[in-house]
Structure 1
Amino acid sequence: MSRLRLAFWGTPEIALPCLRAAAAEHQVVLCLTQPDRPAGRGRKLKRQPVAALADELGIEVAQPAKADQALERLAELEPQALVVLAYGQLLSPAVLAAAPLGAINIHFSLLPQLRGAAPINWAILRGHERTGVSSMFMAQGLDTGDVIYQKACPIGAQETAGSLAQRLAEMGAQVLLPTLEALATGHAPRQPQDQAAATWAPMLSKSDGLMDWSQSAAELDRRVRGLDPWPGAHTTLGGNPLKLFAPTMLLDDNQGQAPGTVLAAPQAPEMLAVACGQGALALGSVQAAGKQRMEAAAFLRGAGAAPGERLGA
């Protein structure tokens, strides 16, 4: 394989397998991430995951407030290609043109499906049976560039956004390496996307996690799993916030109770079972206000919800 000089643009943990793979097979001359930010109760400055790994690998790190501020350093280092994965900013035409072989993006969906900021979450929220990873040449539109390679995978019945992200992160490295090999040899395919078939995966906020118990159990199951671990599905109990997490179980019978009613469910005695508009949903873990995430069984043994109480009322 021809070794390429690369500049790697990425910030969160999901980008780490691709950075490791790129650094093992090629020369990563610069890693660009979002600036470090305060975190935790002490609000101490926390190193961004890609920056921390780059430190370990001995790769120079730049954390410009705006991506264009890196143009001078890119001109000095002369990367042949840019690799971009969850960087956190849109890149300008000047940045995209900073390497002669172009800018390659790794996106966690089967484009043109699920363009945008949260494709992993929305694949679950919308009940897709499969998703995958795409590599593409970056263009000015949002995730509109020509596709190079794709790799598909099924979405499991108990898949959460967190578990699916871990699988796709590793798959991303499996897609990136042949993409870079094809780029180095000048034989990278270019498959234009079908713009008419595009769907969108917009950024999520905490408000997206609010549970509407009048919906079906199947819909609410996808909401819980698709927002686990962040931003988290949530409801209220006695006026206090309660977050809801996987594992989940779909129950056919809501026992004729009003949506949001806590049920005694023999099929799921260790879970928090709740009547929905159609069927019922049993939840395996919860987080009450001021508490750590815990198994529903422990919550129910403590000051948790009793059958007949209403959530979200």
Structure 2
Amino acid sequence: MTKPLRIVFAGTPDFAAQHLAALIDSHHDVVAVYCPPDKPAGRGKKLTACATKQLALSHDLTVEQPANFKAAEDVAHLASYNADVMVVVAYGLLLPKSVLETPKLGCVNVHGSILPKWRGAAPIQRSLEAGDSETGVTIMQMDEGLDTGDMILTATCPITLQDTSNDLYQKLAELGPKALVEALDKMASGDYPRIPQDNALANYAHKLTKEEAELNFDQPADVLDRKIRALQPWPICQFNKLVGDKAHKIRVWKAQAIAQTATAAAGTIVSVTKAGIDVATSEGVLRLEQLQLPGKKPLSAADIINGRADWFQVGQDITQG
């Protein structure tokens, strides 16, 4: 067995905490954990520690929470840990060159895509939305660019026609920690690959916005299906339904493109059954299977129809009452 690496870990959400857990269970030595400052959460706006900090404290690990690394003393303090490598997973802070060069082997990142495809903020969602057949994680040597560093190891998994972003998140949360430990073992041996990315194959995974969650039935059914799955668990796709003079925002939690040709205008309800509310699109039919009315919890289409049959009539525009 190779000599354990001294690791400084930097991360924030549960996805990062699962990677930290794998490092704690490995033969490597986590000497410090970096997290952003605690943030107010809940109705009482009580300062709350992130998932990574909570896990670190439960294992009596030293936790550091600088606001950023602009101060020279913060970089000097990081250097005092004499780390071999800094592992960064969904940290949320931009690391300057001075930090990237502080550990002996630099900094490595776990990125939720098969690089160089889908660099950026929302790789899981964008790969699903684009209709990719697979996704994965890339263990990458960090540089000053945005997800542009050399690749050390890539692990992949398929994307199914039922997967939501949350499903893919869970898949990668299982795949990533194993890949990370494997990559660190290679680094500890001193014999590990550093494969430059082909920039010609790169594209960018833009950050999600609430505005893009609005459904447009002028798009094809399969495009809408993927979008609905991609924007879960946030911001959740929706459409406005005008009933009388009042607009109601209706969220769509589950839908599927079905093998049926629609001759009606896009947005027209073509069928209403217990299986769902079928809506014509520019290409094909989208079946709405689980909806959420304002102020209510998500319900099956059958339950929605039982309470609001007048809102969803065959021949009606889905956006009109």
TM-score of Structure 1 vs Structure 2, range by shorter chain: over 0.9
**1 CA distance for matches of 2:306 and 2:8?**
53
The answer to whether the aligner puts 1:291 opposite 2:296 as a matched pair is yes
Measured after TM superposition, the shift of residue 265 of structure 1 is 4.4
Instruction: Kindly report which structure 2 residues correspond to 1:184-263, keeping only aligned pairs within 5 A, or say none.
Output: 184-238=188-242, 239-246=247-254, 248-253=255-260, 255-263=262-270
1:97 correspondence with 2:101: yes
Q: Which residue of 1 aligns with 2:20?
A: 19
Question: Cα distance, 1:34 vs. partner?
Answer: 2.2
CA positional deviation for 1:176? 0.2
Q: Is the Cα contact below 8 Å between 1:135 and 1:176 reproduced in 2?
A: yes
CA–CA distance in 2 between the matches of 1:180 and 1:187?
A: 11
Looking at CA atoms only, which structure, 1 or 2, has the larger radius of gyration?
Answer: 2
Give the structure 1 partner of residue 85 of structure 2. Answer: 81
Q: 1:67 to 1:280 in 2, by over 3 A?
A: farther
Name the amino acid aligned to 1:244. V
- 1:181 equivalent to 2:185? Answer yes
TM-score by length of 2: 0.91
SS of residue paired to 2:275: coil
Aligned pairs for 1:60-79 within 5 A = 60-69=62-71, 70-79=74-83
C-alpha separation in 1, matches of 2:302 and 2:200: 47
The one-letter code sitting in structure 2 at the alignment partner of 1:186 is G
Aligned equivalents of 1:291, 1:45: Cα separation in 2: 29
Contact kept? 1:31, 1:61, Cα under 8 Å: yes
Unaligned runs of 5+ in 2: none
Matching residue within 114, 126, 131 for 2:130: 126
What residue is the counterpart of 1:306 in the other structure? 312
Alignment deviations for residues 252-292 of structure 1 (CA, whole Å, 9 cap, x no partner): 336433322334245xx232332211111113322222223
Matched to 1:251, the amino acid is I
Cα deviations by residue, 1:141-177 (Å, 9 ceiling, x for unpaired) = 1011010011111101101000001001110011101
Asked if the contact 1:237/1:310 (under 8 Å) is kept, the reply is: no
Letter in 2 for 1:66: N
Distance 1:88 1:133 in 2: 18
Q: 1:243 to 1:103 in 2, by over 3 A?
A: same
1:29-79: CA deviation from partner (whole Å, max 9, x where unpaired): 221122222233333333211111112222122222213454233122222
- CA-based RMSD: 1.8
The residue aligned with 1:272 is 277
CA distance in 2, matches of 1:55, 1:288: 41
Question: Which structure 1 segments of 5+ residues have no match?
Answer: none
Q: How many residues align?
A: 310
Kept in 1, the 8 Å contact 2:35–2:53? The answer is yes
Off by >6 Å, runs of 4+ in structure 1: none
Conserved 8 A contact 1:4-1:81: yes
Does residue 1:143 correspond to 2:147, yes or no?
A: yes
Letter of the 1:38 counterpart: P
Q: Which moved more, 1:2-11 or 1:209-218?
A: 2-11
Deviation at 1:136, TM superposition (A): 1.0
